[in-house]
Amino acid sequence: MESKNPTGFKLGKQLLEQDELHGDDADADATIHPGVRLMYSANEGDVDGIRDLLESGERVDFRDIDGRTALHIAACQGSTHVVDLLLQYGANLDPKDRWGNTPLADAIFYQNNDVIKLLENHGAMPLMASMHVHHAREVPEYEIDPKELDFTNSVEITKGTFCIALWRGTEVAVKKLGDAVLINEEKVKAFRDELALFQKIRHPNVLQFLGAVTQSSPMMIVTEYLPKGDLRGFMIRKGALKPSTAVRFALDIARGVGYLHENKPSPIIHRDLEPSNILRDDFGHLKVADFGVSKLLTVKDKPLTFQDASCRYVAPEVFNQEEYDTKVDVFSFALILQEMIEGCPPFSAEREDEVPKVYASKERPPFRAPTKHYSHGIRKLIKECWKENPAKRPTFRQIIKRLESIYKTIGQKGCWKVKTLRCFPNLEALLKRDRLKLSIRGSSSCPSTSRI
């Protein structure tokens, strides 16, 4: 939404112009236009003053020079009593100001929930012009009829973000978008672009997009549901992972993000790669998830601030508000790989908002796990991925090739390791006894070399 002071700036300017015109005349207040006085009373929450003006014949839908009405002002201020009074006097529910905003849009923007409910109860509708289509043939292919989504036994997956629903008999994850998105042209455009990208993404290691609800409110994104949860929860339960498991998981992440980076015509940067945004499927494989409206970017886009991403995994160039590219995801990947082996988040003793400063000072998380857990080049790969200079970090295509080699080496080493079977706990003792019997039998059959 365009930045503005809807409640008093233009109104104050008008009042000052009236004062300058009439000087210190005691009757100056009487010459101020009644409509301006109505707006001022709405701004101040003066219910009695508003009632007097309306009873005297002033129009309830008077507009100032920005096209705003008293209902706009009251909605911004959250003045429920004023809104109710204006509606009683027949105020227009959906007048648009010069920015295209209605009173309901303003109430949503300023999160005045009581006013929102009051306006909606009287029939006010959220703005849907940016996503709404006028002809059936214009409805996007990904559009899902909200009536097909059953939230009867719905539970939250992540607080305030995703919840479970049934769609055509299948459990799915649904993300509901707040009404504030509908009144912000930039967010609506980003959302539309995001959905267009989602349609193109098809990879085993990327969360599958199923569709969206865009022609009614609330708007929703529907994806596959993975009941095994995220990598963060898995590591909390398991602690440090075996090197073979860590490398296998790292391959899943690298393949998913690498696919996004090789998207045509422009690479897709995840920019918020961290364990909570990586999900596990029923077969134990990982899938990259959580492409928020502000996070799914192409390299040609203007960088966002680091507050939009998880601070503990953010690359230093993002924290320093420098230009960045796909290598920010490589930096985050290195931290995740090390965390899987160490069993704790990077710089876990530091406050999350302090960690980016540590990275910016060229410090990196220490390697505390036994050296053997970082064998076969794992440690070297991690160090290369979190280098200070993004240009010197490897691409995910290069990372995948090295991880495949490491995983193969670990597998070959493990296949020669012999363990005693539980069904033969005394196998070694039995073998020794058999060898002893053979030795005795062999010596008794040999001819004597001396005789008496």
What are the 10-residue block averages of pLDDT along the chain, 452 residues in total? 44 47 52 88 94 93 92 94 95 87 85 90 70 62 88 74 88 80 67 75 92 83 92 95 96 96 85 92 92 46 53 91 92 97 94 90 94 93 96 97 94 56 59 64 48 38
Residue 35 forms part of a structural domain: yes
Q: Which of 97, 272, 290, 329 is catalytic?
A: 272
User: Residue 353 burial by CB count (10 A; 0-12/13-18/19+): exposed, middle or buried?
Assistant: exposed
Give the pLDDT of residue 191.
74
Residue 445 forms part of a structural domain: no
Residues 246 and 196 in one domain: no
Residues 242 and 219 in one domain: no
Instruction: Work out how many domains the chain is built from and give that number.
Output: 3
Whole-model pTM: value is: 0.64
Residues 77 and 29 in one domain: yes
Give the pLDDT of residue 369.
95
Residue 372 forms part of a structural domain: yes
- The structure tokens listed for 65 are 């020079």
Residues 14 and 80 in one domain: yes
Active site residue 48: no
Residues 348 and 238 in one domain: yes
CA dist 35 and 54 (Å) reads: 10
Last residue within a domain, chosen from 202, 224, 246: 224
CA dist 93 and 104 (Å) reads: 8
Residue 221 burial (CB count, 10 A): 25
CA dist 381 and 24 (Å) reads: 78
Q: How far is CA 21 from CA 10, 26, 66, 328, in A?
A: 17, 13, 21, 59
Residues 201 and 297 in one domain: no
* Contact status, residue 102 vs residue 67, Cβ threshold 8 Å: no
Residue 416 forms part of a structural domain: no
Give the pLDDT of residue 30.
58
CATH code for position 389: 1.10.510.10
The domain in which residue 66 lies consists of: 9-121
Query: Which of 185, 230, 221 shows the shortest CA–CA distance to 201?
Result: 221
Give the pLDDT of residue 340.
97
Residues 26 and 117 in one domain: yes
CATH code for position 38: 1.25.40.20
Residues 53 and 103 in one domain: yes
CA dist 294 and 304 (Å) reads: 8
Last residue within a domain, chosen from 169, 197, 224: 224
Give the pLDDT of residue 427.
60
CA dist 50 and 181 (Å) reads: 32
Residue 245 forms part of a structural domain: yes
Residue 1 burial (CB count, 10 A): 17
Residue 31 burial (CB count, 10 A): 11
Residues 307 and 395 in one domain: yes
